[in-house]
């Protein structure tokens, strides 16, 4: 995934972590590019994976879901 090619990628803050979706646990890991450093980050570009291992069907291996998003906000304060 090519996200914000003009910015330097970093391991996303807080990754890896476990997220529960509909009662199933996924390991989330990925890289982010942060535009505007400091206490507040103007824009975040994230690309990563959600990894799921079905304990009942271990022979099927892990399911890996790639995803990406962009988040930005404006502050008037």
Tell me the backbone φ, ψ of residue 3, rounded to 5 degrees: -120, 135
Cα angle 28, 63, 4 (rounded to 5 degrees) comes to 45
* Residues pairing with 50 in the sheet: 28, 65
Would you state the pLDDT for residue 2? Answer: 57
| Secondary structure class of 59 (helix, strand, coil) | helix
Residue by residue, pLDDT tens for the chain (77 residues) are: 555 566 666 777 788 999 998 888 899 999 888 776 655 667 888 899 999 877 776 677 788 899 898 888 765 55
- CA–CA separation, 9 and 62 (whole Å): 26
d(CA 36, CA 74): 12
Q: pTM higher than 0.85, yes or no?
A: no
Token output for 63: 């399911």
């Amino acid at each position: 995934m090519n996200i914000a090619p003009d910015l330097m990628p970093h391991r996303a803050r807080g990754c890896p972590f476990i997220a529960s979706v509909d009662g199933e646990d996924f390991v989330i890991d990925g890289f982010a590019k942060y535009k505007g450093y400091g206490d507040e980050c103007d824009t975040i570009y994230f690309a990563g994976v959600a990894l799921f291992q079905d304990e009942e069907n271990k022979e099927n291996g892990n399911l890996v879901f790639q995803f990406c998003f962009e988040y930005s906000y404006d502050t008037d304060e």
